[in-house]
Amino acid sequence: MSTEFDYYKTGDDGSAGIAGANWAAQTFTASASYTIKSVKLLLYRLVVGGPGTVTVTINTTSGGKPTGSILCSGTTDGNTLTTSSSGEWREITFGAGSALTSTTVYSIVVSAPAASYNLRWRDDSSSPTYTGGSNCYSSNSGSTWTADTGTDMMFDTYGDASATYVNLSGTGGGIGAGFGPLWVHTDISIAGTGGGIGGGFGPIVVQTFVNVSGTCHAVASGSGFLQKTIYVVMTQHTTRLVAIGNDQFFYEDV
């Protein structure tokens, strides 16, 4: 199940209409590095007519406003939204989603090309307190945007936290000679051509998993428990390290 990350979901006292070329957005600052998988927005529709397909995208930003660079997108049927003006928290999923970087500003962009202002997004326009972004609006289908720093839209983001790694990746990436014991509570990720551990490396104690991918990851001679040179070539999959000895890794699938 995905984890809740960034949100503003209290204090709504109004709403913004979305229709045709008139789009709305909310910028937000990622509180952690995570893969965003869905958002929940407080939406409703007017009794007359139906807004049709509602498209929601996660976009990059520049100067606190959305750009045309879409990271992921999803849709929902606006005709099935509640007609209560208090709205409903509608979840829009993004499939595989997109990786977000901590402290970076992104935007949630909402459009409904077939709507006639009968799609409404609840907002706080009297006393907004979200400090990570603000409402933005566009009257030309996202070509240009205007920031409304006096309004925050109701939103909630969900995703999967990024794994924590000791990352030995890229050509020549590695830990140099003489490095002391390494106690790893999460994952060791050894990836990329030439990634390796230098001579004199001390014992490795791994409490979870070793994920190894790529070609010819070397552990130099004299590396504590890892003696001589070991070359590992395997596709990345979930394994558990059982023991290290006799110039070998001993692992099992889990």
Dump pLDDT digits (tens) for 92-120. Answer: 999 999 999 999 999 999 999 999 999 99
**Those residues with Cβ within 8 angstroms of residue 41's Cβ, 6 or more apart along the chain or in another chain:** 56, 89, 90, 92, 108, 110, 121, 153, 154, 155, 156
Residue 17 to residue 138: CA distance in whole angstroms: 11
Asked which of 120, 142, 161 is the last residue of a domain, the reply is 161
Tell me the residue type at 107.
S
Q: Same domain, yes or no, for 16 and 135?
A: yes
Please count the structural domains in the chain. 2
Asked which of 161, 188, 212 is the last residue of a domain, the reply is 161
**Residue 204: per-residue pLDDT:** 47
Q: Residue 42, SS3?
A: strand
Q: Same domain, yes or no, for 180 and 137?
A: no
The boundaries of the domain holding residue 12 are 3-161
Asked which of 122, 146, 161 is the last residue of a domain, the reply is 161
Q: Same domain, yes or no, for 72 and 190?
A: no
Q: Same domain, yes or no, for 69 and 154?
A: yes
Q: Same domain, yes or no, for 204 and 150?
A: no
Q: Same domain, yes or no, for 87 and 144?
A: yes
Dump pLDDT digits (tens) for 217-254. Answer: 444 444 444 333 333 333 344 556 666 666 565 656 65
**Residue 101: per-residue pLDDT:** 98
**Residue 241: per-residue pLDDT:** 63
Q: Same domain, yes or no, for 144 and 201?
A: no
118, 145 Cβ separation under 8 angstroms: no
Q: Same domain, yes or no, for 74 and 99?
A: yes
Q: Same domain, yes or no, for 71 and 196?
A: no
Q: Same domain, yes or no, for 31 and 133?
A: yes
Query: Where do we find the tokens 């660079």?
Result: 69
**Residue 162: per-residue pLDDT:** 80
Q: Same domain, yes or no, for 220 and 233?
A: yes
pTM comes to 0.67
Q: Same domain, yes or no, for 210 and 231?
A: yes
**Residue 215: per-residue pLDDT:** 46
pLDDT band at 172 (very low <50, low <70, confident <90, very high): low
Strand partners, 39: 92, 157
**Residue 206: per-residue pLDDT:** 39
